[in-house]
Amino acid sequence: MHSLSQEIQGFSKNRLKKQCTRVTTVTGRRLLERRGDGGGGEGEEQVEELEEGGGCGFVEDTSLDLQVGVVRPFLLLASQDAAHDIDTLQRCKVSHVLNVAYGVTDLFPDQLVYKTLQILDLPDTDITSYLGECSSFVDQAREQHGVVLVHCNAGVSRSSSIVIGYLMLREGLPFDDAYSQVKLARPSIRPNPGFYQQLQTYKP
């Protein structure tokens, strides 16, 4: 019996050692949860931070994602939470909002200039077909010395793809450079596989 209980204990300890989960919080923080050997066969949890989300420091309220990525002084990227938070908009001096979400209302039409395109976050949506129209709106804001906030629902796929496309179209950046710069500004971005592929092969 003794050897069987030793075997079971050894087995569970080995199993526990291998458990390792990557977690990305809504504020863009990336954590590594590791459950390992805490001695005596008990599973001990450890959490370490992989990289900091940048932006406005740590927002403890995990129900809202108010992190605003500054891609260019006139070009910001965020989720609908930031687009619906007047304090965030005023602090970031936003004058124009490019809303590329589906079914998200524009809350401050009397104070800000809006352009709304209902884009579906699906891999087969032709995201590049929207780049000309979106880039013209960004240019218009820039000419008026304004600041544009581009957002979708989560600020992860559609809006990031539009901003990457803008850098490729207007600044002539290759995809890898444009993607890296946008990811640096907002670490939580993740264009869906279809958008990623379309932008990789996009020739402005």
Beta strands in the chain (DSSP E): 19-24, 30-37, 43-51, 69-72, 75-78, 96-99, 113-116, 148-151
> Which of 88, 154, 105, 99 lies closest to 130, judged by CA?
99
* Spatial CB neighbours of 105, under 8 Å, sequence gap ≥ 6: none
Q: Which residues are marked as active site?
A: 152
